Amino acid sequence: MRASFIHFADTHLGYEQYGVRERFNDFSRTFWNVTEEAVKRKVDFVIIAGDLFNKRAIDALTLIHAIEGLQKLKDHHIPVIAIEGNHDRSYYREGTSWLRFLCYQDYLILLEPAVQDGAPVLDPWDRSTMIGSYVDLLEGRLRVYGIHWQGAGTARAMEGMAQALAAKRDEEEAAGIEYRLLTMHTGIDGMVARIQGLPTMGQFEALQPYINYLALGHVHKPYEFAGWIYNPGSTETCSAEELQWPDRGFYYVEIDTETPERIINPLQKERVHHAEHVASQRRPFVRHDLRVDGLDEPNALYSRLEEYCQRESQKYVQDTTRPLVLVHLVGTLGFDAGSLDQSHMEEIVRRSFQPLYVRVDNHTNDQDYAPDDGDIDGRDRSVWHELERRIFEELVARDNRYLPAKEQWSTVLAQIKEQALRKDDPTQIANFLREKRASLLNNGNK
């Protein structure tokens, strides 16, 4: 038997990332690109391993975009086998999800086994009820099993699945099944640090004797193991975190049971498929950590940001697609972070990148603040004035621009505090501060 299929997951249709409407369209375009590839490559079927949608309650346009991609496959008689991910599930166990609706409309085959005592029940998918845990394709020579999102019950479901598959082996051989595929919406523990509670590799290995290809979704980081576990990653960039991983996309898989490929693998002596990971077409996404250590005033930071933008933006000159740009300020500032002009920094990025979206986030640390109180005992009210003066000096000294005149600035701060306690006119307080600032900064520059 020779056949081919495309396996993808985590398209998250309907995601309006950062509140930018064009990002909604980006996620749809990437999905359409994958379906067009399936038509172009003339595959025999397509696997969607969960999270077709970004949320359970979708709007009409999201549904229209999903149908537009699935209709291309239907027009070319390419079956789509799907499972529900955690983002696809209906709000109530008895409810109908939008994937179930698409199944009823004959756009896809939705696999969802009944679960008894935590273990899947392996019944064939019935076209009349549109319910079942597996479907046979290619004249009954290829079988696709599916398990929808199980959450905390995933490990138990996998154990039960291994037992159920073992019990099915004689039946499969009698039916002439040559290739077995299982799709699940889960990941392997430890692949991404922040995602906890997933099954371990050891738990996955219990499935290996009974299937040829395990099609995963859920974790947006692409990975594959031992010639039988495959996770394509998200088709679009769902978060800046994903930029640290290899290209995400989909798998194009060619099956050949007639001339199996020998591989060195203690778990699997031969492989009857070749899986090619294909990067999907995504909008450029730029993330940069801008170091601020050693910068004594805002203009120095602006200059460093502009230098980076002018240099890095040259990589995108030939790309007509406007990128998303996220800049993180990291390190220790030598001045008060409140002096930074957020709008000015974003404008610097816009001038160079012409981005679809820009954000500059401040993740800097403050300079260490530990006032030296000497022998002053704060419990003694008679020395509170001196303690206050020293604290003001320490606070002022954290900004290098005010450090040379920290004693004068501490006096100004004390006077402003007194004015505020007297409930003086705020305009007068602001004018007083403006005059003192101009005077002290000019003296400091002489």
Of 234, 252, 279, which residue is a domain's last? 279
Same-domain check for residues 98 and 227: yes
- Give the confidence band of 369 by pLDDT, cuts at 50, 70, 90: very low
Same-domain check for residues 238 and 312: no
The residues near 357 (Cβ < 8 Å, ≥ 6 apart) are 18, 20, 23, 324, 325
- Predicted confidence (pLDDT) per residue in 245-300, tens digit: 989 999 999 999 987 664 444 444 467 999 999 999 999 999 999 999 989 899 99
Which structural domain range is residue 435 located in?
381-444
Look at residue 63 and tell me whether its pLDDT is greater than 60: yes
The one-letter amino acid at 340: L
43 φψ region: left (φ > 0), alpha (ψ -120 to 50), beta (else)? beta
Same-domain check for residues 90 and 228: yes
Q: Percent of the chain beyond pLDDT 90?
A: 66
Same-domain check for residues 100 and 128: yes
Task: With respect to residue 373, please indicate whether it lies within any of the assigned structural domains.
Answer: no
CB 377: neighbour CB atoms within 10 A? 9
Same-domain check for residues 212 and 353: no
| Tokens 């460093």 sit on residue | 304
**Alpha carbon distances (Å) from 88 to 15, 25, 97, 311:** 13, 19, 7, 42
Contacts 24+ apart (CB under 8 A), 379-388: 388/414
What's the pLDDT at 401?
Answer: 74
Cβ proximity of 143 and 134 under 8 Å: yes
Mean pLDDT (whole number) for 407-431:
85
Q: What is the CATH number of the domain that holds 79?
A: 3.60.21.10
What's the pLDDT at 103?
Answer: 96
Q: Report residue 260 as tokens.
A: 């199996």
- Predicted confidence (pLDDT) per residue in 132-158, tens digit: 999 999 999 999 999 999 988 899 999
Residue of 224, 255, 28 lying closest to 143 (CA atoms): 255
Q: Which helix (H) or strand (E) holds 33?
A: helix 21-40
Distance in angstroms (rounded) separating the CA atoms of residues 260 and 262:
6
Same-domain check for residues 133 and 260: yes
Task: With respect to residue 372, please indicate whether it lies within any of the assigned structural domains.
Answer: no
**Alpha carbon distances (Å) from 13 to 164, 185, 190, 240:** 33, 16, 27, 18
Per-residue DSSP letter, 249: E
Look at residue 330 and tell me whether its pLDDT is greater than 80: yes
What's the pLDDT at 446?
Answer: 45
Of 279, 297, 324, which residue is a domain's last? 279
Same-domain check for residues 385 and 429: yes
Per-residue DSSP letter, 181: E
Average pLDDT in the chain: 89
Length of the chain equals: 446
Same-domain check for residues 301 and 266: no
Same-domain check for residues 296 and 258: no
- Read off the pTM: 0.81
Task: With respect to residue 32, please indicate whether it lies within any of the assigned structural domains.
Answer: yes
